[in-house]
Amino acid sequence: MLDRTVAPPVQPLARVTLPAAEVFLLPNGARLHVLRNDAQPVIRLQVVFKAGKWYDPSAGVSLLAARLLLEGTRTRTARQIADEVAFFGASLDCEQGFDRATLTLYCLSRHLPQLLPLVQDVLTEPTFPETELALVKTRTIQNVRVERQKTSYLASESFSRHLFGPGYPYGVTFDESIFQDITSEQVRRFFQQHYNFAEAEIFLCGDATDEHIALLTERLGTLPGSQINTPTSISAPAVLAPRDYVTVEGSLQASLRIGRLWPALSHPQTHALQVLVKVLGGYFGSRLMKNIREDKGFTYGIYSSVHPREYATSFMIGSDVNTANAPAAIEQIQLELRRLQEEPVPLTELQTVKNYMSGKFANELSTVFEQCDKYKNLVFYHLPTSYYSDFVAQVQATDAATLQELAQEYLSPASMVEVVSGPKH
């Protein structure tokens, strides 16, 4: 009979290998990365440009360029684009990030030849119609107004501004008046400069064939492009102030954001740093959760996480608490930071975190799309090809002494930017 009081044995994960990608240099300078997996007859095509927030000539231009890309071309209206995508049961979207903009197509692999002309049209002939520009502006402004009634949004916004500085691209916040004045000509000029195939990274994963690669080379590999200069006049991030309180009239809760600039993923101890963050607040059994949720009852959830970007990486602790408990919650967060600096992590706790991280990592590689997402990090953050294959071994090799040294270097409460958003106090 099965004894349910005894946990099943845990088998350590020895090694995880990320499938190797085939890389092709296309005639126009774009690179095509292919990860093949024919387990399902589906495919994902992503065309990635240096066209994110980092490259904004005026705050919001890159956002509008991405959102308007599917709103009409010289030969297709927005409705025709949507109908064609729906006819093939596909999905087509364009997203703007901090560093890059990504056009993503999901479809059955047999439909890629029929959909590639549409992808090419969207990426080469968008018209950025005035009527659609006005609608997107209105929707975006309304959404931001709604979000800015939330303490969590305002705390995160203020945290970024104070951590990076208001003049740094990652610290720039939404300005309604500037956004409203953006013209279609500005958006068009941004598109022409930054949706540049000479510097594009194209990722094809799933049930990809040699015919698909040849077709992509023909359709996208010959489109014109020229090398552009990455902005060089942007100074390093500069912390605006270590403390800030954002007042939200009538709020019943306060949102906390505490953190600092963090080593890039290329740091030689990057995997040990990830273990440290997990111990602190990176999973449900973390120290912050046990203390501030389970013991004190101040919150439903609290977490710590690292946010890598191409030009700066940040570490943040976040939580929503009752306003009256905010000072005590901050005090307990600082207590947990000091504990990691002063006391070695017990072996049983450390092993639990290692097992959690290894299992979660293996689970995150269960599909070819997830594998491709990991591979993209290697490309964009200029990481060694062994980065993920070394992950499990380096996590398992991390010891308590190393974590204590890293905590002493990076988790000092005095080094943190601290933002609280809540009612008037």
- Regarding predicted confidence, which is higher, 145 or 250? 145
Question: With 80 as the cut, is the pLDDT of residue 370 above it?
Answer: yes
Backbone angles phi and psi of 33, in degrees to 5: -110, 125
Longest alpha-carbon distance in the chain: 73
Beta-sheet pairing, 201-206 with 31-36: parallel
Distance linking the first and last C-alpha atoms of the chain: 60
Q: Residue 4 — very low, low, confident or very high, per pLDDT cuts 50/70/90? A: confident
Backbone angles phi and psi of 93, in degrees to 5: -150, 155
Judge contact between 257 and 320, C-beta under 8 A.
no
Stretch among 199-203, 351-355, 358-362, 408-412 having the lowest mean pLDDT = 358-362
pTM: 0.91
Domains and CATH numbers, the chain: 22-219 (3.30.830.10), 243-422 (3.30.830.10)
Per the listing, tokens 């022409």 go with: 192
Given CA atoms 101, 83, 369, 360 in this order, what sign does their dihedral have? positive
Cβ atoms within 10 Å, residue 248: 21
Question: With 90 as the cut, is the pLDDT of residue 305 above it?
Answer: yes
The residue type of 389 is S
CA distance 294 to 291: 6
Stretch among 80-89, 222-231, 384-393 having the lowest mean pLDDT = 222-231
pLDDT of the residue at 375: 96
Residue 103: strand pairing partners: 47, 94
Summarised one tens digit per residue, pLDDT across range 12-46 is 665 677 788 999 999 999 999 999 999 999 999 99
Judge contact between 318 and 280, C-beta under 8 A.
no
Name the CA dihedral angle for 328, 334, 335, 336, rounded to a multiple of 10 degrees.
120
Summarised one tens digit per residue, pLDDT across range 180-222 is 999 999 999 999 999 999 999 999 999 999 999 999 999 999 8
Per the listing, tokens 């099943």 go with: 8
